[in-house]
Chain A
Amino acid sequence: MACALAWAWQANVAAADESNATLWWSLRPLTSPALPQLDATLARQVRTPPDAFLLAKLAQIKTHKAGFAPEADRRTLLRRLSLDLTGLPPTPQEVRAFVADPAADAYEKQVERLLASPRYGERWARHWLDTIHFADTHGFEHDALRTNAWRYRDYVIGAMNRDTPWPRFIREQLAADVFFPAEPALAAALGFLGAGPYDQSTASTAPRTFDYLDRDDLVTQTLSAFASSTIHCARCHDHKFDPIPKEDYYALQAVFAGVSKGDLPFEESAALVQQRRHWQSLLAAADARNAAVLLAQEYAPVISRWETTLGSNATAWHELAVESAGSSGGATLKVEPDGAITSGGTRPEKDTYTVTGVSKLAKIGALRLEVLAAPSLPKMGPGRQDNGNLHLTEFEAHTLASGAANGTKLKMRRATADFNQEGWSITHALDGNNGTAWGIYPRVGESHVAVFELEAPVPLVEGSRLRVVLHQWHGGGHLIGRFRLSVTQATNATADPVPPQVAAALRRTPENRAPEERLALAAWALRGHALAELARLPGPAKVYAAVPGMAPKPVHVLSRGDIDKPGALAEPGALSAIRALPGRFTLSNPQSEAARRAALADWLAHAQNPLSWRSIVNRVWHFHFGSGLCDTPNDFGRMGGIPSHPELLDWLANDLREGGGALKPLHRRIVLSAAYRQSGEGSAALVAADPENRLLGRMNRPRLDAEQFRDAVLSVSGRLDTAMGGPGIAYFKTSPGQQITPKLDYTAFDWDAPGAARRSIYRVVWRGIPDPFMEALDFPDAALLQPTRPFSASALQALVLFNNDFVLRMSEHFAARVEAQVPDLPGRVAAAVGQALLRDPTAGELQALSAYARQHGLAAMCRVLFNGNEFLFVD
């Protein structure tokens, strides 16, 4: 793997050793603590190494000698494990199978099954998306939809399912373009750079302010997410509590000085890249008349095929036998013996030529207009303007029945030309717009051709005539000087106008062609071939990330964060307090913004960066237990929490690092531990001694988060759609707003519509207009980095869970499901309880629920089950 940093960190390490003791805990190098000694009773409780650290600390509580709480029953265990690893509850069948499994490794098998499930990535990706405030819209005033943001969401799901090692995950998201050029689809990972909000209004009216603020958000996001560092506190002054000078902060701003949020096109496979590159280079060779490429043996069959099929069409043009040619502006149109028409005499400002003629063809598929160079014209023409140019505003063709004065206007499919002046394409001659036209400047002094294909071939009845009208309304004498009209039967819609040199070559047999004619023909044929092949390739995918190819803007160290008080120019770098790593980057190409990102990725992913390893281990612990070993997962500074078990944190971080950084082994360490498998009930003495449960003498009891609740309801109702990936599902109707931001109506969604039952991670998250249902269950404000989900209980939450359309419609589906399974009411009630709570109802519950269902219906009872604390909390 490429390492964009060049430095000798070994020397730094030696210098750093002496003073580590005075460093803040999170900045010290990682240690690899030995497992603590335990007395024999406690030692017997150890299942995985983390247990030893936890038990050692628990043993210090004088009033509690029992170590961990007893292991939870299997139903509880599987529900906990399944919701934790996949975000979905187990089915009753899965619980029954696990309860009945006599194998010694019954639990381990469940762990492996769930870790291998694609549902795992869908669950754990959501944690990461929270952490980096990903959403599908800009936020702020102009809260527009980012139609390509979902590619990043799918990338994260995939990366989790592939168990991408953490250092690689860092490098992919910050600089996949630098590190993995051979894997173009990884560009989707760069969606990390575009995850946060975008203030379009400030970007346009206060761009300097915007640049600093937008980069501030990205610096904060990156350092919080990967290093749990509160670098943003050093924007106006040196960090008050942590060893972060403000120069470090601006060094990080300089890293992102070339990042500007926007759509990034990318190829979905390396094969596609290769193909596109191949045809583009052939195109370039054709334009450069590169004989070595064009006349190479491999292309000979392509050229000869073109000559016998498409090329033959070029000879099938039939000149129109002109009967009359007139100018509306007063020019003289003279028909020459070779069929060409020359415009002479007065040169009007504007003109319209009308040419009428006949053809022997029985039908026509296209018309050709050749504008011809001639010595009599200014600059050799083919236009009459002083510079030799012309402007064809509109092209019309009509068929006239024998003797008729008015004809039928022919419908055109498209127009092509051998050359288009920039901004003056031949398509303008068919656009019905009198303000646009075709031009050929600066390629004056040579002939050009334009072909107009009919929508469908038109039969020419005996005696009928063709009338062609050439409107030239641009003014300034931009008129055609000499031209010829032809028709063809060819229906081939791809018929390209063939340059005269190629046409001349085609009129000769191959052996009679001059070398330059042969080359011109090869170039022409291969150019068309390359264009056709390129058109057949799927277009590049896009991800909302960063606009490619931006040069880094200068970043200054600002005095008190004031853009009007710029100080020294900032050099790209990171924190100077990690002594094993350089605080500033030495880059071979400092003006490459990609190199800057790559250097930061290397810095973060480095084996000697203690923040990164501790950060991810702590996050994973947090999501398993509901609280991190350090309970402020985004802040390992002096304002943050102190780890409850610093040795355990280091042991896990070291273990992850030694193992290469894959997260699934870390999950195993944790979910296979005795600590994780405990019951949630602790003795009164333990609860009194450790009410916050920092020592984990019992299991925590999380409430389902918004996604878990919604997905669990779908699953229990039998509706869950496990389709993966793709554009987000909008659980709302949109209508135009006052400006860019539309109005969203979350109450207008039909919960039986396609996509309604997809997992919640696939919904469109509108940053500024969040889903009230998800919000009621503490789905966080996506303006903010959200390393943890809070808990709230309120009347409004209760109303949403009780009355929202989603819950009510799923209650109906749930009722219908059990009604189809079981014939009698008590049986249905029992089945519903089994499905939702994964147990049998007690006699009392059965009686109460049945009585209620009898009176108000089964759906009403299902609604009650969905609202129950037993459904909402995970033991």
Chain B
Amino acid sequence: MNSSLWTESGGRRAAHSRREFLHRAGAGFAGLAVADLLAREGAAPAAHHAPKVRRIIQLFMTGGVSQMDTYDYKPALERLHGQKLGPSEKPEGFTGMPGALMKSPFAFARHGQCGRWVSSVFPEQARLVDDMAFLMAMTSKTNVHGPGTYMMNSGQLLPGFPCLGAWVSYGLGRLTDNLPTFVVLPDARGLPYNQTGTFSAGFLPAVHQGTLIHAGATAAVPDLFARGQFKFATRAADRDGMALLAGLNRKHAQAHRADSRLDARIASYELAARMQLSAPEVFNLEGESEATRRAYGLDQKVTEDFGRRCLLARRLVERGTRFVQVWSGPQGASGNWDNHGSIPGELPPIAASVDRPIAGLLRDLKARGLMGDTLVVWTTEFGRTPFAQGSVGRDHNGGTFVTWLAGAGIKAGSTVGQSDEWGYQSAEDKTYCYDLHATLLHLMGLDHERLTMRHGGIDRRLTDVHGQVIKDVLA
């Protein structure tokens, strides 16, 4: 091909990456491998460097976890409790005027070798702090749920950008043909803020978006099989139909050479048939022992939903899903971490719903040897104010919050960053979603500055123009 036919000198049109080239192949042309079109991974040829992590489970606490009532112990608040020292005007994104400083209603104690302070709402996770690395000065650019949730997922305040899971799928492809690469397990009570926009592939091919799976539903993977009302769509008709279709499609492809999209579609039905065989097994928890089910809290109503989804997450990563998101809490005024009304009233129940399942997940991954290449990330969209809202609630606060990491490639027991005396703003070694995302991609063998897609005139990255790998939490 003579590219000078249309390349003007002075153009900044850099050679697109192979990934990006594939995406632009909408009109169809020759020479692409079918595997590329199907975003399949061979031996991770797309990784920039050797990965430490092959799969990630992200636990996302919807609503904004109160850091000073969980992991960020602030003795100063006990001293200053009741004093009105905060801003005198309503800051952008606060839902009301900040009240007086408010101490945590919960008891704090030190745990583990590392001596981490943990409040009484997380008794189970407290026992595992030596396995975790803490980012104590995470910061958000917003105090509003929707943009905050976008930011922690896609690095942008606005909709339409690919989230971390989509970038991982785009960057690394699949580990298995049998299951979706990026699975989202929402709270049984509803979707998080921004609905499915939060798991969007944005401008990346749709194949990279999160597959939404309702863990309790009868048909977990949508359209895995025809519904019962369609009597003609028996399993035999499926099997014979797919064979017939393959024959017709192959004949068609022979008459239309040099178009690998036709072959990709043929292959997609073969993969679909394999998913039909393997997916139902993943969602059947019958084979799990009583002890395992108990460890995840499946035996108690308060922990059952989140516990089931943590267990599913383990089963999925075990079988080759690369990225699983488990959400705690739906959007809305209750049943999540958005505790405006009452920290003592609203935080303990939601904390209890995740505490045992998370501990169960970490122990189970360890016991099964999966921690060798699996990473667990616990996060939320922002923190809460040290000032009271109403009498005993707390408002949104992007100023500082906590994230922890556990598993492969992580320096267990380490800490990066510190919030100020009140826990209002990050004070030292502030980190943003950009740094977290850069670190996660780094662990997966990807350089966040090189994982790009050109869109609307910009080589877009998950980390925008920011991001530093947080070396101090790496093993």
- CB neighbors of B among A761-789 (8 A): 767-770, 772, 775-776, 778, 781, 783-785, 788-789
Main SS class of interface, B: loop
Stretch among A137-145, A184-192, A473-481 lining the B interface: A137-145
User: Chain A nearest CB: distance from B146 CB in Å?
Assistant: 4
- CB neighbors of B among A544-576 (8 A): 563
Contact B190 A738 (CB under 8 A): yes
User: Chain A nearest CB: distance from B216 CB in Å?
Assistant: 14
Contact A860 B232 (CB under 8 A): yes
Contact A769 B241 (CB under 8 A): no
Contact B189 A738 (CB under 8 A): yes
Contact A794 B39 (CB under 8 A): yes
Instruction: Please tell me if B160 contacts chain A, counting CB pairs below 8 Å.
Output: yes
Besides A213-B158, A694-B6, 11 new A-B residue pairs in contact (Cβ under 8 A), listed by A number: A141-B331, A205-B92, A626-B28, A738-B331, A775-B209, A776-B206, A790-B206, A798-B272, A869-B248, A869-B252, A869-B262
Instruction: Please tell me if A230 contacts chain B, counting CB pairs below 8 Å.
Output: yes
Whether A741 touches B195, Cβ cut-off 8 Å, given contacts A139-B159, A213-B158, A639-B454, is yes
CB neighbours (8 Å) of A797 from chain B are 207, 268
Instruction: Please tell me if A71 contacts chain B, counting CB pairs below 8 Å.
Output: no
Contact B5 A57 (CB under 8 A): yes
Instruction: Please tell me if B369 contacts chain A, counting CB pairs below 8 Å.
Output: no
Contact A812 B206 (CB under 8 A): no
Instruction: Please tell me if A451 contacts chain B, counting CB pairs below 8 Å.
Output: no
User: Chain B nearest CB: distance from A244 CB in Å?
Assistant: 10
CA distance A25 to B11 in the complex (A): 10
1/0 contact string of B29-48 vs chain A (CB within 8 Å)? 11100000111000000000
- CB neighbors of A among B241-257 (8 A): 241-242, 244-245, 247-249, 252-253, 256-257
1/0 contact string of A605-638 vs chain B (CB within 8 Å)? 0000000000000000000011100011011011
- CB neighbors of B among A670-723 (8 A): 680-682, 687, 689-695, 700-703
Instruction: Please tell me if B365 contacts chain A, counting CB pairs below 8 Å.
Output: no
Instruction: Please tell me if B301 contacts chain A, counting CB pairs below 8 Å.
Output: no
CA distance A267 to B247 in the complex (A): 58
CB neighbours (8 Å) of A800 from chain B are 222-223
Instruction: Tell me which of A642, A694, A738 has the highest count of chain B C-beta atoms within 10 A of its own C-beta.
Output: A738
CB neighbours (8 Å) of B197 from chain A are 139-140, 767-768, 781, 783
Whether A855 touches B240, Cβ cut-off 8 Å, given contacts A143-B195, A213-B158, is yes
CA distance A791 to B352 in the complex (A): 44
Instruction: Please tell me if B55 contacts chain A, counting CB pairs below 8 Å.
Output: no
Instruction: Tell me which of A689, A747, A792, A811 has the highest count of chain B C-beta atoms within 10 A of its own C-beta.
Output: A792
By beta carbon, the residue of chain A nearest B189 is A738
Instruction: Please tell me if A737 contacts chain B, counting CB pairs below 8 Å.
Output: yes
Contact B27 A741 (CB under 8 A): no
Contact B241 A792 (CB under 8 A): no
CB neighbours (8 Å) of B335 from chain A are 738
Contact A793 B27 (CB under 8 A): no
Stretch among B108-116, B370-378, B408-416, B456-464 lining the A interface: B456-464
User: Chain B nearest CB: distance from A842 CB in Å?
Assistant: 9
Main SS class of interface, A: loop
Instruction: Please tell me if A471 contacts chain B, counting CB pairs below 8 Å.
Output: no
Contact B202 A784 (CB under 8 A): yes
Instruction: Please tell me if A268 contacts chain B, counting CB pairs below 8 Å.
Output: no
Stretch among B18-26, B280-288, B320-328 lining the A interface: B18-26
Contact B147 A870 (CB under 8 A): no
Instruction: Please tell me if A512 contacts chain B, counting CB pairs below 8 Å.
Output: no
User: Chain B nearest CB: distance from A375 CB in Å?
Assistant: 53
CA distance A201 to B370 in the complex (A): 40
CA distance A250 to B402 in the complex (A): 36
User: Chain A nearest CB: distance from B441 CB in Å?
Assistant: 22
Instruction: Please tell me if A795 contacts chain B, counting CB pairs below 8 Å.
Output: yes
User: Chain B nearest CB: distance from A587 CB in Å?
Assistant: 29
Instruction: Tell me which of B39, B143, B223, B230 has the highest count of chain A C-beta atoms within 10 A of its own C-beta.
Output: B223
Whether A795 touches B261, Cβ cut-off 8 Å, given contacts A788-B26, A863-B241, is no
By beta carbon, the residue of chain B nearest A769 is B195
1/0 contact string of A731-766 vs chain B (CB within 8 Å)? 000000111010100010000000000000000000
Q: Which of B6, B93, B234, B276 has a CB less than 8 Å from the CB of A206?
A: B93
CB neighbours (8 Å) of B31 from chain A are 691
CB neighbours (8 Å) of A778 from chain B are 205-206
Contact B1 A691 (CB under 8 A): yes
Instruction: Please tell me if A224 contacts chain B, counting CB pairs below 8 Å.
Output: yes
Instruction: Please tell me if A426 contacts chain B, counting CB pairs below 8 Å.
Output: no
22 A/B residue pairs, CB under 8 Å, sorted by A: A57-B5, A139-B159, A140-B159, A626-B28, A631-B24, A637-B457, A639-B454, A702-B26, A743-B190, A768-B195, A781-B160, A790-B26, A794-B206, A799-B276, A808-B226, A852-B241, A855-B240, A864-B241, A864-B248, A868-B245, A868-B248, A870-B248
CA distance A695 to B359 in the complex (A): 60
CA distance A169 to B148 in the complex (A): 37
CB neighbours (8 Å) of B252 from chain A are 868-870
User: Chain A nearest CB: distance from B397 CB in Å?
Assistant: 12
Contact A791 B25 (CB under 8 A): yes
User: Chain A nearest CB: distance from B194 CB in Å?
Assistant: 6
CB neighbours (8 Å) of A873 from chain B are 256, 261-262
CA distance A737 to B196 in the complex (A): 14
User: Chain B nearest CB: distance from A127 CB in Å?
Assistant: 14
CB neighbours (8 Å) of B194 from chain A are 139-141, 143, 768
Whether A201 touches B160, Cβ cut-off 8 Å, given contacts A644-B5, A856-B240, is no
By beta carbon, the residue of chain B nearest A140 is B146
By beta carbon, the residue of chain B nearest A22 is B10
User: Chain A nearest CB: distance from B381 CB in Å?
Assistant: 11
Contact B201 A201 (CB under 8 A): no
CA distance A563 to B145 in the complex (A): 19
